[in-house]
Amino acid sequence: MIFYFSGTGNSAWAARSLADNLNEKLVSIAEALQKNDTLYNILQEESVGFVFPTYGWDIPPIVRTFITCLSLQYQDKKGISRHKNMLDSTYIYFVTTCGDDTGKLLKRVRQAFTLRNLHIDSAWTIVMPDSYVCLPGFDVDSDKLKESKLSAAPQRLQMIATHIKRKQRGVFDVHPGHFPYTKTYILGGLFRHYLMDDKPFHTKDSCTQCGICVDVCPTKNIIIGTEGPHWQNQCTMCLACYHHCPSHAIAYGKQTKHKGQYLHPEAPRTKRA
């Protein structure tokens, strides 16, 4: 079973590719939370994976919420449910996509999982095109860099799938980068405190009120009012609304002025009549 979350399609591509390769069931974290569906039976010998992007060198808020609510129940071959501690032998891993590096993300995931009496056996990073645009100096990658990252990703994912098939434990092939503590706990702390805020979101005159932002928002945080889209303070900062907007009409304060958009090539392009 693979639980995944994605805003602009990088992690969705990785999750789908792994699920196809490993013949695993795929569960959308956003859809599970909307349905309050957080209890899952884990069969004997089944692996459990989590695929999600790195946000501010940390876990996306929506993924952290899901982990907090998640309940895994072990079943043997006869379909008999067993106590949770039977999950101690279950192979559990995560794969995170990031533009460059992850800081102390691995430690943060371990802490979150420990609170749920879960463990991490292995973890990997896949470097993918950047999509964060809400700070000065942050923008989508150049076409050349984007293509370079996308070209390298399938081989990286195939290697990860091989490790998972073999249930190799103790493989923590992540990219903490330089100054990981500073990034996660200082810069990331500032990001979580000041920039997990949807108040700066607004639309420009080019907005057609097509409603695509409403459709793609994983937290159902956007509604269309008489004056256009409104954000309702339940934002996970995935920027799906910004990057999916066909009119490039969504802005985050003045920070996104003259900045680009990015969606993974296989991300669905939502259309409204």
Q: What is the reported pLDDT for 75?
A: 73
Q: Which of 75, 96, 95, 87 is nearest to 119 (CA)?
A: 87
- Cβ(72)–Cβ(84) below 8 Å: yes
Task: Determine the Cα–Cα distance for residues 210 and 251; give it in Å rounded to an integer.
Answer: 16
Q: Are 261 and 255 in contact (CB under 8 A)?
A: no
Flag the least confident range among 83-87, 99-103, 147-151. Answer: 83-87
Report residue 74's pLDDT band, with 50, 70 and 90 as the boundaries.
Answer: confident
Residue 176 has pLDDT above 80, yes or no: yes
Residues of the chain above pLDDT 70, percent:
94
Tokens of 221: 């945080």
**Where do runs of H (alpha helix) occur along the chain?**
10-22, 29-34, 61-69, 105-114, 143-165, 180-181, 188-194, 212-216, 240-244
Query: What confidence score (pLDDT) does residue 81 get?
Result: 63
- pLDDT above 80: residue 25: yes
Question: Cα angle vertex 36, ends 68, 43, to 5°?
Answer: 75
Backbone φ/ψ region at 146: left (φ over 0), alpha (ψ -120 to 50), beta: alpha
Q: Which of 186, 193, 174, 187 is nearest to 237 (CA)?
A: 193
16-30, 60-74, 82-96, 134-148: which has the minimum mean pLDDT? 82-96
**pLDDT of 64:** 96
| Confidence tier at 227 by pLDDT (50, 70, 90) | confident
Q: 78: pLDDT confidence band, cut at 50, 70 and 90? A: low
Q: Helices (H) and strands (E) in the chain — how many of each?
A: 9, 12
State mean pLDDT over 9-28: 97
Q: Which has more confidence, 161 or 82?
A: 161
Query: Phi/psi of residue 66, each to 5°?
Result: -65, -45
Q: Which residue has the tokens 């990034």?
A: 183
Half-sphere exposure of 270 (CA within 13 A, CB side): 19
**Is the pLDDT at 129 greater than 90, yes or no?**
yes
Q: Higher model confidence: residue 45 or residue 109?
A: 109
Residue 84 is classified by DSSP as G
* Rounded Cα gap, residues 33 and 36, in angstroms: 5
pLDDT band at residue 80 using 50, 70 and 90 as cut-offs: low
Q: What is the mean pLDDT of residues 172-194?
A: 91
pLDDT for 194 equals 80
Q: Can you list the domains of the chain with their CATH numbers? A: 2-192 (3.40.50.360), 201-252 (3.30.70.20)
Mean pLDDT to the nearest integer, 177-199? 90
In this predicted structure, which of 27-36, 81-90, 258-267 has the lowest mean pLDDT? 81-90
Kindly tell me if the per-residue pLDDT of 84 is higher than 60.
Answer: no
Instruction: Name the DSSP class of 140.
Output: P
Above 50 in pLDDT, residue 273?
no
Looking at every residue in the chain, the average pLDDT score rounds to: 92
Residue 26: HSE in the Cβ half-sphere, 13 Å Cα cutoff: 19
Q: Which region, left, alpha or beta, applies to residue 30 given φ > 0 means left and ψ of -120 to 50 means alpha?
A: alpha
